[in-house]
């Protein structure tokens, strides 16, 4: 008896929701919003069912579906989840309904043009579907196709939706940011395409797909682990770098990060959350799954260099965040720093580092969503992103200010909030492998406290600045968005076990597959006491 195709249903539902939203008459914007929200909630329900059916102690990849796609190329429609993919699927499915509610009355999606609201909702759902396929794909070509295609709807979300009455210059800046996002990521994808083709050629030479090559991820991983890809280190290193470059652009890893701050500002808070908390996770997920498992030897070779770049990104993002005058741009730079921590944990090649990195992907998504959305609500009230224009907000909007503080403290990894656990695991795992890198990365904790608390002080405390006295506190709709995020930060801060129970077996399996073991702890031994030249 065939099992129900839960993973196919997972991405088909948002695609169907996007089509249904576009079918709603143009004048019925509220109906379009409800159709999109119902589709997003249905996707979440399917994700929860998949999580319930997933057994942490079972097979590495579960809920697997496999069908022929392009037989002559050895490409198939093969999907399945391990623990890491599962938690990222749940993160994606949980955040999208909140983003649709957050944008319910946003000027960017309530403009007077025909079907603007409909198109925005449909694009958001399409991005969700493509991200979900990327997380569950067990075919390398299938993954690549949607890794690239998701850029198109995201490009329109960044460049196509501006506030009402926007001047020509801001509109041009928004379009430039969208083009920059697209070009950077398309170039990274082009390099990856060359690597994908090269990998297929290797599988064809070894007849891994029978008479030809194959894109089946599990087959290629098995061959890579046993050394049966039939290529030398130079070729494998080149293919590794092709995959890694594309993932490093999307993640983003310093110095390939420069598209992110402009895109975050241009996109608006809900779409910026979609980009940074969801879409960019495909990059770090790709590093953990594809780079490590397909190229174990190259991973060992380049892990020290990538760790250095990750530490540079951690410190660079934190230092630049301190100097920002734009609240949204500041939050974007904090994400560059956080992605550095995730990548550092991945390439520490330890169980603590890998588990911390996977957990960090989830926790960063939640904390960044909370901080960006509450900042977006504040910016929409005041009409400016300039930090200096705020001041005294906690006196006129105490609930908004309190939520902003909790989200900010989570961003700086305060103990008791979710990011602390993941950051601690990353640092512990890194210290056992690269102690110097861990020491430098720890310095970012001080910088994070500086940029978050200074931002809060300037925006929320002190006397009420002119223009801020009419700022409203959070509305019920906004509380519906923020309360679940705050609760998730609190719960995962004190009880991350349910997530780690699903992540840990996948991380351990990955490290075992590439022949990596945690470094043995070294404890200095005291010199033996001597008496009269005789050891006691």
DSSP readout, 55-95? -TTS-SSEEEEEEEEEGGGTEEEEEEE-HHHHHHHHHHHHH
For the record, the structure tokens of 76 come out as 């198939």
Average pLDDT value over all residues in the chain: 88
Q: How far apart are CA 495 and CA 9, in angstroms?
A: 30
Closest CA to 326 of 284, 272, 279, 394: 272
Mean pLDDT value of segment 210-228: 83
Residue 353 contacts residue 519 (beta carbons within 8 Å) = no
Mean pLDDT value of segment 193-207: 88
Q: Give 231's DSSP letter.
A: -
* Coil, strand or helix at 19: helix
| Residue 514 pLDDT | 82
For the record, the structure tokens of 308 come out as 């250095």
Residue 393 lies in a domain: yes
**Which residues share a beta bridge with 139?**
216
**Which residues share a beta bridge with 534?**
531
Residue 387 lies in a domain: yes
In terms of phi and psi (left: phi > 0; alpha: psi -120 to 50; beta: otherwise), the region of 58 is beta
Residue 465 contacts residue 390 (beta carbons within 8 Å) = yes
| Residue 529 pLDDT | 46
What percent of the chain has pLDDT above 90?
Answer: 54
CA distances from 337 to 41, 117, 314, 315 (A): 31, 33, 4, 7
User: Exposure pattern of 477-515 as b/e (b: 16+ CB <10 Å)?
Assistant: ebeebbebbbebbeebbeebeebbebbbbbbebbbebbe
Q: Residue 421 pLDDT > 80, yes or no? A: yes
pLDDT tens readout for residues 482-523: 999 999 999 999 999 999 999 999 998 888 888 877 787 665
* Coil, strand or helix at 139: strand
* Coil, strand or helix at 137: strand
**Which residues share a beta bridge with 77?**
67
- What is the model's pTM? 0.90
Q: Residue 231 pLDDT > 90, yes or no? A: no
- CB count within 10 Å of CB 437 equals 21
Residues near 169 by beta carbon (within 8 Å), at least 6 away in sequence: none
| Residue 524 pLDDT | 58
Q: How far apart are CA 471 and CA 464, in angstroms?
A: 10
| Residue 112 pLDDT | 52
For the record, the structure tokens of 273 come out as 């959350």
* Coil, strand or helix at 247: helix
- CB count within 10 Å of CB 524 equals 5
Residues near 244 by beta carbon (within 8 Å), at least 6 away in sequence: 287, 291, 302, 306
Q: Residue 270 pLDDT > 60, yes or no? A: yes
Q: For residue 371, give its domain range.
A: 295-516
Mean pLDDT value of segment 317-337: 90
Closest CA to 102 of 487, 405, 476: 476
Distance of CA 319 to the CA centre of its chain: 21
Residue 243 lies in a domain: no
Q: How far apart are CA 158 and CA 152, in angstroms?
A: 10
Q: Residue 206 pLDDT > 90, yes or no? A: no
Residue 179 lies in a domain: no
Distance of CA 399 to the CA centre of its chain: 28
What percent of the chain has pLDDT above 70?
Answer: 93
Residue 526 lies in a domain: no
Q: How far apart are CA 496 and CA 355, in angstroms?
A: 11
| Residue 163 pLDDT | 60
Q: Residue 111 pLDDT > 80, yes or no? A: no
Residues near 534 by beta carbon (within 8 Å), at least 6 away in sequence: none
Q: Residue 29 pLDDT > 90, yes or no? A: no
Q: How far apart are CA 303 and CA 344, in angstroms?
A: 9
Cα dihedral 26, 30, 34, 35, rounded to 10, equals -10
Residue 199 lies in a domain: no
Closest CA to 7 of 58, 56, 43, 59: 43
Closest CA to 118 of 24, 43, 38: 24
Residue 343 contacts residue 357 (beta carbons within 8 Å) = yes
- CB count within 10 Å of CB 392 equals 18
Domain count, the chain: 1
* Coil, strand or helix at 254: coil
Lowest mean pLDDT among 28-32, 163-167, 177-181, 503-507: 163-167
Distance from the first to the final alpha carbon of the chain? 71
Place of tokens 């509450």: 374
DSSP readout, 270-335? HHHHIIIIIITHHHHHHIIIIIHHH-HHHHHHHHHHHHHHHHHHHHHHHHHHHT-SBHHHHHHHHH
For the record, the structure tokens of 366 come out as 């939640």
CA distances from 523 to 156, 432, 520, 526, 535 (A): 56, 12, 10, 9, 21
Q: Residue 530 pLDDT > 50, yes or no? A: no
């Amino acid at each position: 008896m065939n099992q129900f195709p839960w993973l196919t249903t997972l991405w088909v539902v948002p695609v169907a929701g996007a089509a249904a939203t576009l079918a709603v008459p143009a004048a019925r914007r509220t109906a379009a919003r409800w159709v999109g929200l119902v589709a997003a909630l249905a996707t979440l329900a399917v994700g929860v069912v998949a999580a319930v059916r997933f057994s942490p102690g079972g097979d590495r990849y579960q809920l697997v579906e496999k069908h022929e796609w392009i037989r002559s190329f050895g490409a198939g429609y093969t999907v399945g989840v391990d623990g890491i993919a599962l938690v990222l699927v749940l993160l994606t499915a949980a955040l999208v309904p909140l983003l649709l509610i957050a944008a319910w009355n946003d000027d960017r999606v309530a403009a007077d043009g025909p079907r603007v609201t409909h198109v925005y909702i449909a694009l958001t759902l399409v991005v969700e579907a493509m991200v979900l396929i990327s997380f569950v794909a067990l075919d390398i070509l299938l993954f690549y196709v949607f890794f690239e295609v998701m850029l198109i709807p995201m490009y329109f979300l960044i460049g196509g939706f501006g506030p009402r009455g926007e001047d020509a210059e801001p509109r041009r800046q928004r379009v430039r940011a969208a083009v920059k996002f697209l070009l950077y990521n398309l170039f990274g994808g082009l390099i990856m395409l060359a690597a994908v083709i090269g990998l297929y050629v290797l599988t064809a030479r070894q007849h891994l797909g029978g008479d030809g090559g194959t894109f089946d991820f599990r087959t290629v991983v098995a061959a890579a682990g046993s050394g049966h890809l039939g290529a030398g280190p130079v070729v494998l290193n080149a293919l590794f770098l092709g995959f890694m470059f594309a993932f490093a652009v999307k993640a983003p890893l310093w110095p390939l990060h420069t598209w992110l701050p402009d895109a975050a500002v241009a996109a608006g808070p809900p779409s910026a959350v979609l980009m940074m908390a969801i879409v960019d996770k495909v990059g770090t997920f790709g590093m953990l799954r594809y780079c490590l498992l397909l190229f174990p030897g190259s991973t060992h070779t380049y892990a020290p260099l990538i760790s250095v770049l990750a530490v540079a990104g951690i410190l660079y993002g934190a230092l630049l965040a301190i100097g920002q005058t734009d609240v949204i741009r500041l939050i974007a730079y904090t994400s560059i720093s956080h992605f550095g921590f995730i990548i550092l944990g991945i390439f520490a090649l330890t169980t603590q580092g890998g588990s911390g990195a996977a957990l960090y992907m989830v926790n960063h998504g939640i904390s960044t969503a909370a901080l960006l959305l509450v900042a977006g609500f504040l910016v929409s009230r005041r009409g400016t992103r300039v930090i200096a224009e705020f001041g005294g907000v906690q006196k006129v909007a105490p609930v908004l200010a309190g939520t902003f503080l909790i989200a900010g403290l989570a961003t700086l990894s305060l103990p008791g909030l979710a990011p602390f656990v993941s950051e601690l695991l990353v640092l512990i795992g890194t210290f056992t492998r690269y102690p110097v890198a861990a020491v430098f990365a720890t310095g970012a904790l001080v910088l994070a406290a500086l940029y978050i608390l200074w931002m809060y002080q300037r925006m929320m405390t002190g006397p009420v600045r002119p223009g801020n006295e009419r700022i409203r506190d959070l509305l019920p709709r906004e509380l519906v968005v923020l309360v679940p995020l705050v609760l998730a930060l609190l719960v995962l801060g004190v009880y991350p076990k349910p997530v780690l129970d699903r992540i840990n077996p996948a991380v351990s399996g990955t490290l075992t597959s590439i022949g990596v073991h945690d470094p043995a702890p070294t404890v200095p031994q005291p010199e033996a006491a001597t008496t009269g030249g005789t050891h006691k």
